[in-house]
């Protein structure tokens, strides 16, 4: 009986050791897997935000203002043209020191945005990748005053809760939510936006917050 009991105890102890070891490995791998999944998703979100920025800049070049309406922005991209400009010597300048911008043709805004891309759907411009319910980016536009001059500005953004809404394959819902909450708290503790955004409603900038890290 004593020998049998000893075997049982050893088996139980071995099982406990294996369980503890698995928990340690899991605790080490969990943040690594979360960061990997977060970065993979953010790469797609950043790509979409860059498309929004490019479209907004072209819209402003044509209208002198940014827009806070995705339908207007998408329609502009589908129908508008932008000039192809070449810098040439000013023919009226006898000193041969001045240049002028010579429009040599036009290209559709859509063609400019999708250049070199195998897949580009302008109707997806407003939709946040990985959103659980086809959520849209938040889009604002307006003006700020600097030295008495009104400067057009825009901002497009989406928080962690949208593109990190659904758990990664290696997580259950509770574990995933805790990781997202931790990431959000970390950003907020240093007064940073807990998500991704491009442009600013407070300064004349078209930078993305991923470019300011």
Query: What is the pLDDT, as a whole number, of residue 5?
Result: 61
Does 138 or 23 have the greater pLDDT score? 138
Mean pLDDT (whole number) for 134-155: 95
Q: Quick one: how far is CA 184 from the chain centroid?
A: 16
Query: What is the pLDDT, as a whole number, of residue 86?
Result: 76
- Write out pLDDT tens, residues 12-42: 666 676 666 556 555 556 688 999 999 999 9
Q: CB 177: neighbour CB atoms within 10 A? A: 15
How sure is the predictor about 70, in pLDDT bands with cuts at 50, 70 and 90? very high
E-assigned strands of 69-137? Answer: 81-89, 99-108
Q: How far is CA 57 from CA 11, 39, 82, in A?
A: 68, 26, 11
Asked if the model's pLDDT at residue 189 lies above 80, the reply is yes
Asked if the model's pLDDT at residue 51 lies above 80, the reply is yes
Mean pLDDT (whole number) for 144-173: 93
Asked if the model's pLDDT at residue 73 lies above 90, the reply is yes
* pTM for the model: 0.80
DSSP letter assigned to residue 169: T
| Residue whose C-alpha is closest to residue 45's, from 123, 112, 122, 125 | 125
């Amino acid at each position: 009986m004593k020998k049998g009991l000893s075997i049982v105890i050893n088996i139980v102890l071995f099982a406990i050791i294996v369980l503890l070891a698995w928990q340690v490995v899991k605790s080490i791998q969990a943040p690594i897997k979360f960061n990997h999944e977060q970065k993979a998703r953010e790469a797609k979100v950043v790509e979409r935000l860059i498309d929004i920025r490019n479209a907004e800049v072209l819209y402003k070049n044509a209208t002198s203002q940014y827009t806070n309406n995705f339908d207007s922005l998408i329609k502009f991209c589908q129908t508008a043209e932008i000039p192809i400009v070449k810098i040439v010597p000013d023919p009226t300048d006898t000193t041969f020191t001045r240049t002028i911008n010579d429009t040599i043709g036009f290209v559709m805004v859509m063609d400019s945005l999708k250049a070199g891309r195998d897949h580009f759907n302008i109707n997806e411009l407003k939709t946040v990748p990985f959103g659980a319910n086809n959520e849209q980016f938040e889009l604002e536009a307006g003006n700020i005053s600097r030295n008495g001059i009104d400067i057009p500005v825009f901002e497009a953004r989406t928080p962690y809760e949208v593109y990190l809404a659904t758990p990664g394959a290696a997580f259950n819902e509770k574990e995933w939510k805790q990781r997202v909450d931790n990431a959000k708290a970390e950003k907020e503790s240093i007064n940073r936006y807990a998500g991704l955004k491009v442009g600013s409603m407070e300064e004349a900038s078209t930078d993305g917050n991923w470019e300011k890290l």
